[in-house]
Amino acid sequence: MFNPSEMLSQMWTTVQEPRSPAYVPNAYLLLLSAWENGWRVERAELVPSWDQHGLVYLATLRQGLPEYTQQLILPQNALIEELLAEMKVA
């Protein structure tokens, strides 16, 4: 039963997946949503894609205390690269 006296936290333990309009890649919105909700990209590196026909970013995201981590696979495109640069990924 729901107890209204319990404190509800707004911290998410997983990255939330937003809906994607047709003109913006879903991976971009996922990364943007994570950034707006306190997740920080700890590391992002280019790795071969699962089909070996290109490269993708393997990004490790971290959030707050206690520290939660999550890995995302992001396509290599201009929108993702601009957002990663703005987030100042090491």
What does the pLDDT read at residue 31?
A: 87
Please give the Cα distance from 54 to 38 (Å, whole number): 30
Q: Is the pTM of this model over 0.75?
A: no
Q: How many Cα atoms occupy the beta-carbon half-sphere of 17 within 13 Å?
A: 5
pLDDT of residue 26: 80
DSSP helix/strand/coil, 36: helix
- Pairwise CA distance, residues 46 & 15, whole Å: 21
pLDDT band at 78 (very low <50, low <70, confident <90, very high): confident
Q: Are 31 and 80 in contact (CB under 8 A)?
A: yes
> pLDDT tens, 12-67?
666 666 665 667 778 888 888 888 888 888 899 999 988 878 899 999 998 877 78
Are the CB atoms for 36 and 57 separated by under 8 Å? no
Q: Which residue has the tokens 């601009």?
A: 82
- The pLDDT score that the predictor gives to residue 14 is 65
